[in-house]
Structure 1
Amino acid sequence: MKNILFTFLIIIALFSCKDNTKEKTKNENGYNENTELKEDPKLQVLINAIILENDVFEVYYYELGQDTFHPKDFVFTKVIGKPESQDIIFILPEKTYPERLRLDFGKIKTQKPIKLNHIKILYGNKEYTFSEDEIRNEFKASKYLDFNKNKFLLSPREIEGRYDPYLYTKKVSNIVNYLIED
């Protein structure tokens, strides 16, 4: 009797711990069918560049209603230096739709000039690639970053002991809205 009760409890426990990623919905015939719950895609920023030294890059963002970039609103990624082009991808937190972006190009003061190839914003299967003219005219460099707009070379520099090389965008909310709309 104890074995039957024990087996029965095991069976109940197994069925009560089933995967809840499916949802029952009625199709047009009124029958229940299981459909996968979809996770919303996250906005991504992709920088393609040649970075020669290992470093840590960051993307800061602020959303509608904010006045400036907040020190807590950023994502980062480690970059492995190499002489070939590479994609550096930043995944923004879920339901983050920035008004502006700030692309920080490293923490190490010995970083060599960076050859910037292109910048994209991605969402699901949609993407927006900034044109060379948009990068030249709509991305502004901090005083800690020399931006050769003809060769697309970014040269970080230290000034009076401070080091903070970055590019920041004008408004990108129209691009973000385009990407997230159905």
Structure 2
Amino acid sequence: MKSKILLFVLLSLSVISCKNKEEQQEPKQEENNAFTITVDMIVKKDDSFQIYYMEDVNAPVDPKNYVDVAVKGSDASQAVVFKLPEDVVPANIRFDLGGNENQDPIKINSFKMNYFDKSFEAKNGDIDFFFGYNPQITFDKATATATIKKLPNEPYDPIFIAKTSLQDELKKMAM
């Protein structure tokens, strides 16, 4: 009888041990269906950047529909990743260049969008083809650098606005 109990205990431990090994060897892979925007840029001073998204190309900006990312200042290039809420595929976007009124010029190396197996990327001066900007930004296409200027009697709000060419790329991502 003791040998049957001992055999039962050993078999139970063996099954539990094998199950734990299987769980450790096969990590669960999450399916990522979030639309992401990655901006590779040089931001020399701490700041916070936002991507506002509209699911209709003609919809006005809704102050609730945005993703905010804090950025530590650095002389090195860094990837700033905006992960939109799951199942949101924007038809239009606006890229706000932060709230630090003393920010140095920002070099934008690339702008990339990913959604499932689809991706789009604009590099350096091509940013100018896909984005317009408000009067608070001077964009040097040759160096892909945005210089921000404060305007008298206007609130500080430097923004890049998607042109039709970027809206077309967003449309392709949604298909």
* TM-score interval (norm. to shorter): 0.7 to 0.9
- 2:118 alignment partner in structure 1: 126
- Which residue does the alignment assign to 2:94? 102
Q: Residue in 2 aligned with 1:72?
A: 64
Conserved 8 A contact 1:53-1:111: yes
In 2, the alpha carbon distance for the partners of 1:173 and 1:152 equals 21
Q: Indicate the residue corresponding to 2:170 in structure 1.
A: 176
Q: CA deviation at 1:66?
A: 4.5
Query: Aligned AA for 2:141?
Result: K
Structure 1: gaps spanning 5 or more residues: 1-35
SS of the aligned residue for 1:108 comes to: coil
Contact in 2 for aligned 1:58/1:106 (Cα 8 Å): yes
1:49, 1:176 → 2: CA distance? 21
Alignment partner of 2:91: what SS?
strand
Q: Which residue of 2 aligns with 1:89?
A: 81
Residue in 1 that maps onto 2:52: 60
The CA distance in 2 between the partners of 1:170 and 1:141, in whole Å, is 9
Structure 1's 67 and 126: CA in aligned 2 closer, same or farther, altered over 3 A?
A: closer
* Larger deviation, residues 97-106 vs 42-51: 97-106
Partner of 1:3: none
More strand by share: 1
**SS in structure 2 at match of 1:175:** helix
- Could you tell me whether the CA contact under 8 Å between 2:125 and 2:143 is conserved in 1? no
* Unaligned ranges ≥5, structure 2: 1-27
1:127, distance to aligned residue in structure 2 (A): 1.8
CA contact (8 A) 1:97 1:173 kept: no
Q: Provide the alpha-carbon RMSD of the alignment.
A: 2.2
Residues 1-12 of structure 1 mapped to structure 2, 5 A cutoff: none
Deviation at 1:131, TM superposition (A): 4.7
TM-score, scaled relative to structure 1? 0.71
Task: Give the TM-score normalised by structure 2.
Answer: 0.74
Aligned residue identity for 1:107: G
The answer (yes or no) to whether the contact 1:48–1:118 under 8 Å persists in 2 is: yes
In the alignment, does 2:164 pair up with 1:164? Answer: no
> Which residue does 2:39 correspond to in 1?
47
Aligned to 1:114: 106
- Confirm whether residue 136 of structure 1 aligns to residue 128 of structure 2: yes
Q: Which has the higher helix share?
A: 2
Deviations 1:98-147 (A, max 9, x none): 11111111101000000110101012343210255642223101111111
